[in-house]
Chains A and B, each alone.
Chain A
Amino acid sequence: MLALPCPHCGTRDEAEFQFGGEPAVRPPSSVSDTVWADYLYMRRNEKGAHRELWCHAGGCGQWFVLTRDTATHAVLP
């Protein structure tokens, strides 16, 4: 039961949001199979400060990047 800060609507209940995972930079199609597979499937899944995408799907519909401590669920600046 997290409360997350939507940059447009303010702090709202987790139920209004959709998780988008770690943001990944999309490589061009000229990259190797390995680089492409890393982009598709490999995530750092770090304990501690974690940058991640969220969408306020039940509100303004906007995607934003949030830094959250995965151990404490604290939202970091």
Chain B
Amino acid sequence: MRLAVGGRIDRGKMLRFTWNGRALSGFAGDTIASALLANDVKIVARSFKYHRPRGLFAAWVDEPNAVVDVRWNGQHDPNARATLVALRDGMVITGVNGFPSVDRDVAASLDLLHRFLPAGFYYKSFMAPSWHYYEPRIRAMAGLGRVGEATETRSFETRNARSDVLVIGAGPAGLAAAKAARATGASVLLVDDRAALGGSLLWDTATIDDVPAHAWATAAIAGVRVLSRTTVFGAYDQGSFALLEDRAEAPEGWAAPRLWVVRAKRVIFATGAIERPLVFPDNDRPGIMAASAVLDYLRQYGVLAGRQVIVATNNDSAYGVAEALRDAGAAVEIADARDDAPAIPGIKVRSATVPLGTGGRGGLAWVDLGPRDGSRRDRVSADLLAVSGGWSPAVHLFSQAGGALQWDADLAAFVPMQAGQLVAGSVTGAADLATCLAQGHAAGLAATDAGDLVGPRTAAASPVRPILPLWGLDLPGTRQWVDYQNDVTAKDVRLAASEGYRSVEHLKRYTTLGMATDQGKTSNVNGLAILADATGQAISEVGTTKFRPPFTPVPLAAIAGLRHGALFAPLRHLPVHDDHLALGAEMRDYGGWARPACYRGIGETTEAAIKREAANARFRVGLFDGSSLGKIEVYGPDAAAFLNLMYYNEVANLRPGRLRYCLLLRETGVVFDDGVVGRLAADRYLLSPSSSHTAGVLAMLELWHQTEYPTMQVAFHDVTAAWATFAISGPKSRDVVAGLGSGADLSDQALPHMAMTENFIGSVPCRIARVSFTGERSYEVSVPSGYAQSLWQHLLDLGAAAGIMPYGIESLSVLRAEKGYILIGTDTDGMTLPVDLGLEGPLRAKKIDFVGKRSLLTPDATRADRRQLVGLLPADPETVPVPGSHAVLREGGASRSLGWITTACRSPVLQRSVALGMIESGRARMGEEISLFHLGKLSRARIVAPCFYDPAGEKLHG
């Protein structure tokens, strides 16, 4: 229930929301959890495995139960953590893992079968015939929210920050540390995951430096850079930390979370501590909460979680909670497991008493209290049981950052071993304000190696009575919960131990203890302590599981940030992109470029368009935009010698004005790229790598130049975007190019196939290269890309009478396949050597150690049974085999693969299907008929030379 006064909420701003369809309200400043608690909602979730009803246990990051489905303003979070999400007006909140609802869940009957569903049950029971047979059904029964179909549309941002000192946690210790470090002149970044800084100071009645604690907190951060509502979720290399800033309450309105990467010279861990539950029978009933969480809801949100309260504890910290509840009007009784419980005014205190069991439908109605051995039971009515099993320092980040932990038996806690790392506050096990402030101050000074400053003053703490560790009760036949979210009981832990899982890491994986979305923040220490008891080890021997990022769940979209879609890999546009669209081009992504696939006429199929475009380029004249083709200029007196070391083919003897088709290899001998190398002058080359390999080729040249041949005088310049290139292909191509009036001599003597010339069209420089990927007479005309559009339109006009038509990549793919021209990465793979492609000449002729040469001389490279490029003519000329189909050979009663189809199409000029493939000993199999296998079907094809059209090249040379 909500109290009339108190809390840090804005009672002037009411927020409406629905919970499982019920209309409820809360206030600005509420979390979903505090609003539900204020409305006396008891059951907030069903447990993962047994579908047991669960209520709120904690108030912050440690909450194990309250995972809810939230829809708001078009956004959907199927697994929102109710304690961390600020309530907003109009939120539609639904419980998860319950059908029809978490209040009445038909799968709750699963809990009756719990005897048959212990830890490891799945591993033992669902193995025949295969786990995969059962998995979908089990997954449907277990689990959390249902993920929506919608794509993430929120825009996540990423920020970087640096500071001298990073202080994690803005409780008393963190504030004192930040204040001290700042006072020495250091830049300080203070991060806290809650909206308001101060931690316990927000409601502490103490004074610091003679002013109220919360006022001191406000003054302490002068000059300190503060990130609130920000969780440091991971410690990474070289002292870098990853942070997630929740901006749902940003002043400018709701904004998606922001990821921060922070680098600091020193970091101070003031990360606080997390209260542990007590382990006793039926300790998971809604209405059983951490004592500190009860206080949190009271002080932060003005919510009294119960009117008739039992506080069960084994340490002193819960006494303050009991007093606060008493002062808020609740009837309070304390059950202290220790013998020497003190008297507290207005509160009945029982010594040597623990909860032995609980009862109630849909919530808590009574608690059985008695001694630990269960020899006596006193049933006491209660609607809230606040428990404290002691405190676990939040050592997660400290440990992630490489800090070592040690078991402190007096505190019954793993605490940081302080060797070189700076820690302060309750993360060290400190339990009182004065110690926290002193530790924080000392850490702040140590972080900057500065001199002495006077630290904050507050009243000395009263002595603390030691904790009595309690790791469950020895009461056979009871169910005592350790991990609420993943439904792990003390019995499950003991079962795992008896089955040989003695390592805490094995325990975790076998029982799933600590593997839920809360990552076992409340359950880990209880679990490993029970394991220690069951295996006869000391807790220090068992140790903890490894702490790994993230501390709290982080959306993957936040890590991706803006690195998605077009912002991550923008599709490059051709200089005449709009002209292609105007011609009806269907643009597709080819190696990062948006290029025309084909230009479909109205009502025309893609197949018909390809056939039309290909035929036109063969028999009349076609126009192709090759602007994306790489253009790397190579300069310098050593350009020829250097490129000769890079290329498989000889390029040093190339005469200026001549072109050569060349391969680039990796040092492993594998074909990396192919392309035309042109020599513009004695000291100047122009390379044309594949469109998608240009950056890779440039990087390769730089790597070899810088690391292997640094003294060679050569430089590289990628001018791909500076020039537009259009290919004019077909028997009438020369007439069209002649119309440009470039002054170039286009006769076959002056400009034969594989030659180029530099001229001008008017005052515009142009390059005309006679090179072909279609098998027809072709000219590539290049101009500075600013002139691309006028050249493109000019060529269309010039060729109109000859029947010029643009053709796209798909049409080009057919034309090149008919000629047997390979595409790197399509017809080759990561094992293809030049000899496999039938290109053996350079290996024999070239004497220098070009890249990859030695690899071509190994036994593997010279095997006779390597797969080799061949042509394939399917027996059925109407069937186009699917690339990837295997050529199979029956040998000794079994089939084996001889290789596969790499390219296949229907050839318009041959009016039949043709294919290219890599076939074992292919060149020795010319004329053989082989079997092709695809998806269970066999077909036949004949092996032929990999060129189906104009093998003599008469069309090419004119």
Chain B proximity of A14: nearest CB distance (Å): 9
A33 touches B263 (CB 8 A): no
B237 touches A2 (CB 8 A): yes
B237 touches A1 (CB 8 A): yes
Which of B240, B699, B853 interacts with A1 by CB under 8 Å?
A: B240
Contacts of A40 in B (CB 8 A): 667-668, 855
Contacts of A57 in B (CB 8 A): 699
Interface string of A6-27 (1 = CB under 8 A from B): 0000000100001010010011
A20 touches B703 (CB 8 A): yes
Minimal Cβ-Cβ distance residue in A for B859: A33
B238 touches A31 (CB 8 A): no
A62 touches B853 (CB 8 A): no
Which of B238, B708, B849, B859 interacts with A73 by CB under 8 Å?
A: B238
Interfacial residues of chain B within 235-279, with CB under 8 A of chain A in the complex: 236-238, 240, 242, 261, 263
B854 at interface, CB cutoff 8 A: yes
Minimal Cβ-Cβ distance residue in B for A33: B858
Task: A63 to B704: give the CA distance in the assembly, Å.
Answer: 10
B205 at interface, CB cutoff 8 A: no
Contacts of A2 in B (CB 8 A): 237-238
Which of B667, B702, B703, B849 interacts with A28 by CB under 8 Å?
A: B849
A55 touches B703 (CB 8 A): yes
B855 touches A73 (CB 8 A): no
Minimal Cβ-Cβ distance residue in A for B707: A63
A49 at interface, CB cutoff 8 A: no
Task: A13 to B240: give the CA distance in the assembly, Å.
Answer: 11
B706 at interface, CB cutoff 8 A: yes
Task: A18 to B699: give the CA distance in the assembly, Å.
Answer: 11
Minimal Cβ-Cβ distance residue in B for A18: B699
B263 touches A29 (CB 8 A): no
Minimal Cβ-Cβ distance residue in B for A31: B854
Interface string of A50-77 (1 = CB under 8 A from B): 0001010100011100000000011000
Chain A proximity of B264: nearest CB distance (Å): 12
Minimal Cβ-Cβ distance residue in A for B242: A1
B857 touches A29 (CB 8 A): yes
Take A1-B240, A26-B708 as given contacts and tell me if A61 and B849 are in contact as well, using a CB distance cutoff of 8 Å.
no
Which of B668, B702, B707, B854 interacts with A61 by CB under 8 Å?
A: B702
Minimal Cβ-Cβ distance residue in B for A74: B238
Minimal Cβ-Cβ distance residue in B for A36: B854
Which of A1, A23, A29, A73 interacts with B854 by CB under 8 Å?
A: A29
Interface string of B837-879 (1 = CB under 8 A from A): 0000000000001000111011100000000000000000000
Minimal Cβ-Cβ distance residue in A for B236: A1
Contacts of B160 in A (CB 8 A): 13
Contacts of A55 in B (CB 8 A): 699, 702-703
Contacts of A23 in B (CB 8 A): 707
Minimal Cβ-Cβ distance residue in B for A4: B238
Task: A63 to B263: give the CA distance in the assembly, Å.
Answer: 25
Contacts of A27 in B (CB 8 A): 854
Task: A20 to B667: give the CA distance in the assembly, Å.
Answer: 14
Chain B proximity of A21: nearest CB distance (Å): 11
> Per DSSP, are chain B's interface residues mostly helix, strand or loop, or mixed?
mixed
Interface string of B703-733 (1 = CB under 8 A from A): 1001110000000000000000000000000
A36 touches B238 (CB 8 A): no
Contacts of B855 in A (CB 8 A): 36, 40
A29 touches B236 (CB 8 A): no
B849 touches A3 (CB 8 A): no
B859 touches A53 (CB 8 A): no
Chain B proximity of A62: nearest CB distance (Å): 7
Chain B proximity of A28: nearest CB distance (Å): 6
Take A2-B237, A73-B237 as given contacts and tell me if A63 and B706 are in contact as well, using a CB distance cutoff of 8 Å.
yes
B263 touches A53 (CB 8 A): no
Minimal Cβ-Cβ distance residue in A for B563: A15
Minimal Cβ-Cβ distance residue in B for A62: B706
A3 touches B703 (CB 8 A): no
Minimal Cβ-Cβ distance residue in A for B854: A29
Which of A1, A33, A53 interacts with B238 by CB under 8 Å?
A: A1
Chain B proximity of A45: nearest CB distance (Å): 18
Contacts of B854 in A (CB 8 A): 27, 29, 31, 36
Minimal Cβ-Cβ distance residue in A for B668: A40
Which of A13, A31, A63 interacts with B703 by CB under 8 Å?
A: A63
Chain A proximity of B696: nearest CB distance (Å): 11
Chain A proximity of B286: nearest CB distance (Å): 42
Task: A31 to B667: give the CA distance in the assembly, Å.
Answer: 15
Contacts of B699 in A (CB 8 A): 18, 55, 57
Contacts of B263 in A (CB 8 A): 3
Contacts of B859 in A (CB 8 A): 33
Contacts of B703 in A (CB 8 A): 20, 55, 63
Chain A proximity of B856: nearest CB distance (Å): 9
Minimal Cβ-Cβ distance residue in B for A13: B160
Task: A1 to B263: give the CA distance in the assembly, Å.
Answer: 10
A63 touches B238 (CB 8 A): no
Take A1-B236, A40-B668, A61-B702 as given contacts and tell me if A29 and B707 are in contact as well, using a CB distance cutoff of 8 Å.
no
Contacts of B708 in A (CB 8 A): 26
Chain A proximity of B830: nearest CB distance (Å): 14
Chain B proximity of A75: nearest CB distance (Å): 8
Task: A1 to B262: give the CA distance in the assembly, Å.
Answer: 10
Task: A40 to B669: give the CA distance in the assembly, Å.
Answer: 11
Chain B proximity of A1: nearest CB distance (Å): 4
B706 touches A3 (CB 8 A): no
A29 touches B853 (CB 8 A): yes
Contacts of A13 in B (CB 8 A): 160
Task: A29 to B861: give the CA distance in the assembly, Å.
Answer: 14
Minimal Cβ-Cβ distance residue in B for A28: B849
Take A29-B849, A36-B854, A40-B667 as given contacts and tell me if A1 and B261 are in contact as well, using a CB distance cutoff of 8 Å.
yes
Chain A proximity of B403: nearest CB distance (Å): 14
Chain A proximity of B732: nearest CB distance (Å): 45
Task: A28 to B173: give the CA distance in the assembly, Å.
Answer: 64
Interfacial residues of chain B within 216-249, with CB under 8 A of chain A in the complex: 236-238, 240, 242
Minimal Cβ-Cβ distance residue in A for B261: A1
B707 touches A36 (CB 8 A): no
Interfacial residues of chain B within 21-78, with CB under 8 A of chain A in the complex: none
Contacts of B237 in A (CB 8 A): 1-2, 73
Task: A51 to B283: give the CA distance in the assembly, Å.
Answer: 56
Most buried by A among B237, B242, B853: B237
Minimal Cβ-Cβ distance residue in B for A41: B668
Interfacial residues of chain B within 637-674, with CB under 8 A of chain A in the complex: 667-668
Most buried by A among B240, B242, B668: B240
Task: A20 to B242: give the CA distance in the assembly, Å.
Answer: 26
Contacts of B857 in A (CB 8 A): 29
Contacts of A61 in B (CB 8 A): 702
Contacts of B240 in A (CB 8 A): 1, 3
Task: A55 to B263: give the CA distance in the assembly, Å.
Answer: 22
Minimal Cβ-Cβ distance residue in A for B848: A29
B702 touches A36 (CB 8 A): no
Closest 10 CB pairs of A and B: A29-B854, A73-B237, A1-B240, A63-B706, A29-B849, A1-B236, A36-B854, A33-B858, A2-B237, A73-B238
Can you list 16 A-B pairs, Cβ within 8 angstroms, ordered by A? A3-B238, A3-B240, A3-B263, A13-B160, A27-B854, A28-B849, A29-B853, A29-B857, A36-B858, A40-B667, A53-B707, A55-B702, A55-B703, A57-B699, A63-B706, A74-B238
For the complex with contacts A1-B237, A2-B238, A40-B855, 16 further pairs of A-B residues with Cβ separation under 8 Å are: A1-B236, A1-B238, A3-B240, A3-B263, A18-B699, A20-B703, A26-B708, A36-B855, A36-B858, A40-B667, A53-B707, A55-B702, A57-B699, A61-B702, A62-B706, A63-B707
Taking Cβ atoms with an 8 Å cutoff, the residues of B that contact A are 160, 236-238, 240, 242, 261, 263, 667-668, 699, 702-703, 706-708, 849, 853-855, 857-859
